[in-house]
């Protein structure tokens, strides 16, 4: 049960991070357009945020990792979408008033709006690997297993968001869906892990 709970959290984290990244382009487009500069800023910020998250999650995993902490991280990743829902327009307007350059403006906007939730999602993977590994000999297998599922769900998040969700829902509705699913997944994983004891 614990393994299923950990994999479920890692899978949703992968789905959510790529869904959010695809939405980032839609959120920035009305203000800064959708040029290669904007997408370069988005990808750069997400890569940097994930790298910081991996480092923090790995460090956190050294101190007696617990499934409860992983679930809190997942829940927090959903909560951190609330500021995007509430403040995306004021932030973009403020940045645009400061600079109309799509390179600088999109880069600053991405850092303000998306860096922290992306970093929290990044911290989930190394922490989840540590929860799965009970013996050093199996570390590579479990890391591979987790990254296989997480990356597959990242691909699903990219495809479903960019091909379907944006055609059916408004951007804010998709954000609410991602937020609600992150919270629900955290609660479900915690419940599942407790049941398996």
Q: Which domain holds residue 139?
A: 2-195
pLDDT reported for residue 104: 96
In whole angstroms, give the CA distance from residue 17 to residue 197.
Answer: 30
CA R_g for the chain: 17
Residues 50-74 have a mean pLDDT of 92
pTM score above 0.85: yes
Count of structural domains within the chain: 1
In whole angstroms, give the CA distance from residue 190 to residue 197.
Answer: 11
- Shortest CA distance to 122 belongs to which of 25, 21, 47, 27? 47
Here the CATH number for the domain that contains residue 184 is: 1.20.1250
pLDDT digits (tens, 9 = 90+) for 66-95: 999 999 999 999 999 999 999 999 999 999
In whole angstroms, give the CA distance from residue 89 to residue 31.
Answer: 9
């Amino acid at each position: 049960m614990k393994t299923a709970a950990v994999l479920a959290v890692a899978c949703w984290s992968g789905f959510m991070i790529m869904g959010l990244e695809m939405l980032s382009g839609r959120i920035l487009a009305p203000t800064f357009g959708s040029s290669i500069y904007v997408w370069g800023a988005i990808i750069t910020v997400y890569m940097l945020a994930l790298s910081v998250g991996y480092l923090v999650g790995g460090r956190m995993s050294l101190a007696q990792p617990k499934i409860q902490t992983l679930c809190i991280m997942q829940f927090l990743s959903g909560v951190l979408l609330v500021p995007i829902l509430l403040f995306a327009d004021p932030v973009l307007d403020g940045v645009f008033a400061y600079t109309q350059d799509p390179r600088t403006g999109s880069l600053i906007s991405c850092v303000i709006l998306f860096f922290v939730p992306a970093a929290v999602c990044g911290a989930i993977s190394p922490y989840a690997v540590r929860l799965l590994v009970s013996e050093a000999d199996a570390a590579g297998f479990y890391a591979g297993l987790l990254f296989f599922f997480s990356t597959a769900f990242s691909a699903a998040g990219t495809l479903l968001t960019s091909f379907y969700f944006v055609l059916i829902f408004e951007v804010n509705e998709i954000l609410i869906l991602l937020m609600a699913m992150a919270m629900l997944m955290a609660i479900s994983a915690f419940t599942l892990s407790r049941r398996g004891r």
